[in-house]
A = this chain, B = another copy of it.
Amino acid sequence: MKGMKRSHFCGDLSKKQVGEEVTLMGWVQRRRDHGGVIFVDLRDRFGIVQVVFNPEEGNQVFSVADELRKEYVISIKGKVRARPEGMINQELATGRIEIQAQDLHILDEAETPPFMIEDDVSAGEDLRLKHRYLDLRRKPMQDNIILRHKVKKAVRDYLDNNQFLEIETPILTKSTPEGARDFLVPSRISKGDFFALPQSPQLFKQLLMASGMERYFQIARCFRDEDLRADRQPEFTQIDMEMSFMKQEEIMELVEGMVQEIFAVADLEKPTEFPHISYQEAMERFGTDRPDARFGMELVDLSDIVADSEFNVFSGTVASGGQVKGINAKGCADFSRGQIDDLTDFVAVYGAKGLAWIKITEEGVNSQIAKFLSDEEIEEIIEKMEAKTGDLLLFVADNPKIVAASLGNLRLKLGQELDLIPEDEFNFLWVTDFPLVEWDDEAGRYVSLHHPFTNPKPEEIEKLEDNPEEVNAQAYDLVLNGIEVGGGSIRIHNSQLQKKVFDLLNMSEEEIEEKFGFLLEAFEYGTPPHGGIAFGLDRLVMLLAGLDTIRDVIAFPKTQSGTSPLTDAPSDVSHKQLDELGIEVEQEIELE
């Protein structure tokens, strides 16, 4: 680097340094020639500053400056001077000064990048991912990475202050029971055997509680070999916590403090409200266990009103144990038939066989179903749904699951389309009192709503055998703007109870022993009551930054198909490598 030593970052400079000689290093963001003078916007991670090359200052430097192109890496030495009044750039933090260059070295030349290094980029994501190192030069991407760093720092500081230890758990481990598919790693030393990459550090963090570590956390990499529909990554990062001797309320309070610190470093207003809502209430009011409570349009249960209605679709549903619920799309009475048909198609995806509607117009009630309902019923519906002239009431009659799914999602869709959701608002909600298990028709057995280590409410344990569906769990999810950012629970710490839950999930003795024998054994030697929570870091940072995809907050993400256009991973390996591992690729695949 030609003996030059950087004296400042570009973004550090202000009127304070006027008159000082500085040495700067960075990238050429822009070059302009104006009146025989060359102006270069020099960019580093900390800002952009204008550098002026004047032919009078020395021909040699000026002629090197003449070679500069976008993204050249340079070092310059020069004097800071105030810009004349008329030349001040208010949009630039350093816009009141510029550097009069006296010396210049090109540290690296650059070809024209395949897309511009600017805040807005029109390049497709594939191109951006292939040249991720260029994409990451753009300020919005740098800001995302910096925010992610700050969030992790805030989490670590907060947890360190609260006596938590960050403890690393193995990446090469055993198949874990999170329900998703494991990534496997063939063992060379123990041929034919496989490690699994952890879906979460769940078992290890519980073992750490049995180890008396009392308060553990880890910003942990987790792995799930799932089909990558939606915004998922095969590897993702979790703020993983576990603590002993703390009750659910204490854990929630501690977590709220952490969230506040995170918001502080993200330069956002600290959230103060973390209301609690039970699973059941969430399902009833919002049709989902992760409600977006930034807007209303809640689900209203009309089953009582229409139970004896002459409208058979409604009364018949109620009679057979179903529900009739509605939402009030305020001001949408002018929706066309076609628009309502679209909504009907939308709810059909969630299993709804139809979408009844009532328009409240200046001329009175307008509806295909009005003729089947009594005036009294309509009046009660209008009253309960707080309907006013101009409103559109939408109804689904079905079993509770379908009603919740279809109206819950319809509510979200309408909320977005009608612009009811305040985008800048951060709305937190603790969802609690989840059922411990639910019946899975496909699997033909009970499955855990969280995971099999979740503690039932102590006063409901007795119902485990006969009415397991009525048992609630000591579980708590933190929902932000309708997205689950954290999921936690108090765990079982007793081997008898743990075995009982495994039984309930229809696991065989053999399976229990093979998968969880070591955990059950650990519980024999004095394990404290404990619980924890895990936050999806990627998702959390995404929400804080107001982004739509977690790929924008991960330095080197995979594509939707789980590959890296940058490194070309995964790729084929040599026969020697496979031989050493004692595995073979199936022939039909190899021949392709």
Q: How many Å lie between the Cα of A590 and that of B192 in the bound state?
A: 7
Residues of B within 8 A of A71 (CB): 525-526
Q: Are A212 and B137 in contact (CB under 8 A)?
A: yes
Residues of B within 8 A of A108 (CB): 493-494, 523, 526-529
Contact partner of A196 among B9, B109, B569, CB < 8 A? B569
A167-B555, A561-B189, A569-B196 given; A524·B111 CB < 8 A: yes
A221-B221, A570-B193, A582-B586 given; A212·B27 CB < 8 A: yes
Residues of B within 8 A of A190 (CB): 561-563, 570
A470 at interface, CB cutoff 8 A? no
Q: Are B44 and A214 in contact (CB under 8 A)?
A: yes
Q: Are A172 and B569 in contact (CB under 8 A)?
A: yes
Contact partner of A223 among B5, B172, B215, CB < 8 A? B172
Q: Are A168 and B570 in contact (CB under 8 A)?
A: no
Residues of B within 8 A of A215 (CB): 45
Residues of B within 8 A of A142 (CB): 212-213
A439 at interface, CB cutoff 8 A? no
Contact with B along A231-261 (1 / 0, CB 8 A): 0001101000000111100100000000000
Residues of B within 8 A of A523 (CB): 108
Q: How many Å lie between the Cα of A483 and that of B351 in the bound state?
A: 66
Q: How many Å lie between the Cα of A294 and that of B97 in the bound state?
A: 54
A377 at interface, CB cutoff 8 A? no
A500 at interface, CB cutoff 8 A? no
A110-B524, A167-B145, A194-B570 given; A185·B184 CB < 8 A: yes
A45-B213, A192-B592, A564-B174 given; A183·B185 CB < 8 A: yes
Residues of B within 8 A of A244 (CB): 25
Stretch at the interface among A84-92, A391-399, A572-580: A572-580
Q: Are A193 and B586 in contact (CB under 8 A)?
A: no
Q: Are A525 and B134 in contact (CB under 8 A)?
A: yes
Contact with B along A542-581 (1 / 0, CB 8 A): 0000000000001110100111101111111100010011
Number of A residues, CB within 8 Å of B: 128
Q: Are B589 and A192 in contact (CB under 8 A)?
A: yes
Q: Are A567 and B525 in contact (CB under 8 A)?
A: no
Residues of B within 8 A of A175 (CB): 571, 573
A191 at interface, CB cutoff 8 A? yes
Q: How many Å lie between the Cα of A111 and that of B524 in the bound state?
A: 6
Nearest chain B CB to A520's CB is how many angstroms away? 12
Nearest chain B CB to A369's CB is how many angstroms away? 47
A169 at interface, CB cutoff 8 A? yes
Nearest chain B CB to A140's CB is how many angstroms away? 13
A136 at interface, CB cutoff 8 A? yes
Nearest chain B CB to A238's CB is how many angstroms away? 12
Contact partner of A556 among B152, B170, B183, CB < 8 A? B170
Can you name 24 A-B residue pairings with CB atoms under 8 Å? A6-B245, A25-B245, A25-B528, A27-B526, A71-B525, A73-B528, A75-B245, A133-B211, A133-B522, A133-B525, A136-B211, A136-B213, A137-B211, A148-B167, A170-B558, A171-B197, A172-B558, A173-B569, A174-B571, A184-B581, A187-B570, A189-B227, A583-B584, A584-B584
Using a CB–CB cutoff of 8 Å, the interface residues on chain A facing chain B are: 1, 5-6, 9, 25, 27-28, 43-46, 71-73, 75, 107-111, 113, 131-134, 136-137, 142, 145-146, 148-149, 152-153, 156, 160, 163, 165-175, 181-197, 203-204, 207-208, 210-215, 221, 223, 225, 227-228, 234-235, 237, 244-247, 250, 493-494, 514, 518, 521-529, 554-556, 558, 561-564, 566-573, 577, 580-586, 589-590, 592
Further contacts, 7 of them, CB under 8 A, given A131-B525, A137-B212, A187-B570: A133-B210, A153-B156, A169-B556, A174-B568, A175-B573, A191-B586, A192-B590
